[in-house]
């Protein structure tokens, strides 16, 4: 059994490294000199220079980084400034379009990772589609359904001999049967089963009277050659849905802050807890979580805040509007201030995670 902390570091590293790989590939494509591509964060443990780039392993074993030449104009020393040939390789001296490509490539790679993860899952477990039968998607712990032996994946055919093909019929019928034993007809592995179940008179609202999650959606399989293509299409749709939901959630959170509400935000400790829980459910739920986390990183990074990719992109747009570059010193100060605020917020969120963990 792999320790949860190792799984957490692997998940975090995958998501961050993919982001940095986007910057790295885009920088190479537009001719920017990439000085270092690192796994983990300094201090450096070992490094090897291949061509003009150092590929390094660092002692802080999570995430990664890309160090581009001339990322900030003020960082170039006098000798570098004297070299016209080298100056053309600097990030800061590339065109607005090229710099925008490099900055946004990290976000694009995170979204593509989301598509990849979802595509892999649906190509494996089937394509979710609306069907004309009821499937059991989940079983609540210590529920009548669990006690009776109902399993995920079962098809509900009938209750008390009455045919059922819509979840609304299933729910409505059980509303009037609280405390009364009913016979549920199920199909499992091409066999028909008759299972007696007694709906509860009191229960958690999210579980229902018998404690099952039922749906008119099921995972459908197509010919093997079609599955990857269908998986990618559903993966794109799922990535779009998660991106939209996260953006809407951020909007709701911001409006709530102005109304005096306390935002519910998860930091590293909370992500570690979620990773640990998901990892216990198996590899496919973990892959889905990686996809969701990657999309989350993309959404956060595209926000127009200093020190984030979105903030740096805003500087380029301002440059295009006013017709000249913002002074490097001013941009650097704004980014440093933004980074300080982000670090402060991360510390506060982490403290909140720890407090919630202590309180249980």
- The residues annotated as belonging to the active site are 20
Strand partners, 338: none
Considering only CA atoms, which of 23, 9, 60 is closest in space to residue 39? 60
Report the alpha-carbon distance of residue 325 to residue 96 in Å, rounded.
10
Report the alpha-carbon distance of residue 42 to residue 161 in Å, rounded.
67
Classify each residue of 88-109 as buried b or exposed e, where b means 16 or more C-beta atoms within 10 Å of its C-beta.
ebbbbbbeeebbbbbbbbbbeb
Q: Is the dihedral of CA 187, 191, 195, 200 positive or negative?
A: negative
Return the biggest CA–CA distance within the chain.
Answer: 87
φ and ψ at residue 275, rounded to 5 degrees: -60, -45
What token pair was written down for 358?
A: 């202590």
The verdict on whether omega for the bond into residue 16 sits within 30 degrees of 0, i.e. cis, is no
- Please state the three-class secondary structure of 251-298 as a single string: HHHHHHHHCCCCCCCCCHHHHHHHHHHHHCCCHHHHHHHHHHHHHHHH
Report the alpha-carbon distance of residue 246 to residue 114 in Å, rounded.
13
C-beta of residue 313 within 8 angstroms of C-beta of residue 100: yes
Q: Is the dihedral of CA 198, 199, 201, 206 positive or negative?
A: positive
Contacts of 11 (CB under 8 A, 6+ apart): 275, 286, 289, 290, 293
φ and ψ at residue 328, rounded to 5 degrees: -55, -40
């Amino acid at each position: 059994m792999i320790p949860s902390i190792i799984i957490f570091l692997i998940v975090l590293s995958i998501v961050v490294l993919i982001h940095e790989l986007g910057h790295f590939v885009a920088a190479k494509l537009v001719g920017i000199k990439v000085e270092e591509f690192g796994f983990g964060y300094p201090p450096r443990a070992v490094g090897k220079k291949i061509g003009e780039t150092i590929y390094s392993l660092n002692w802080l074993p999570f995430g990664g980084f890309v160090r581009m030449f001339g990322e900030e104009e003020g960082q170039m020393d006098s000798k570098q400034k004297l070299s016209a040939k080298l100056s053309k390789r600097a990030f800061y001296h590339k065109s607005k379009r090229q710099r925008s490509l490099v900055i946004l490539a990290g976000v694009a790679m995170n979204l593509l990772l989301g598509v990849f993860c979802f595509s892999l899952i649906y190509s494996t477990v089937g394509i979710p589609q609306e069907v004309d039968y009821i499937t059991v998607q989940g079983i609540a712990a210590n529920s009548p359904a669990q006690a009776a032996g109902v399993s995920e994946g079962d098809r509900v055919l009938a209750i008390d001999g009455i045919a059922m093909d819509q979840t609304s019929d299933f729910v409505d019928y059980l509303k009037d049967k609280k405390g009364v034993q009913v016979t549920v007809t199920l199909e499992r592995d091409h066999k028909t089963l008759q299972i007696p179940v007694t709906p509860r008179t009191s229960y958690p609202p999210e579980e229902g009277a018998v404690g099952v999650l039922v749906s008119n959606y099921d995972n459908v399989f197509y010919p093997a050659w079609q599955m990857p293509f269908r998986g990618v299409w559903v993966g794109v749709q799922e990535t779009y849905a998660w991106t939209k939901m996260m953006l809407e959630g951020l909007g709701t959170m911001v409006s709530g802050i102005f109304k005096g509400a306390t935002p519910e935000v998860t930091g590293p400790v909370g992500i570690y807890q979620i990773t640990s829980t998901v990892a216990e459910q198996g590899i496919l739920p973990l892959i889905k979580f990686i996809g969701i986390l990657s999309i989350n990183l993309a959404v956060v990074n595209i926000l127009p805040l200093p020190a984030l990719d979105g903030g740096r992109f805003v500087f380029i747009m301002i440059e295009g509007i006013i017709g000249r570059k913002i002074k490097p010193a001013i941009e650097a100060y704004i980014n440093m201030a933004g980074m300080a605020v982000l670090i402060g917020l991360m510390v506060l969120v982490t403290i909140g995670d720890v407090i919630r963990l202590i309180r249980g």
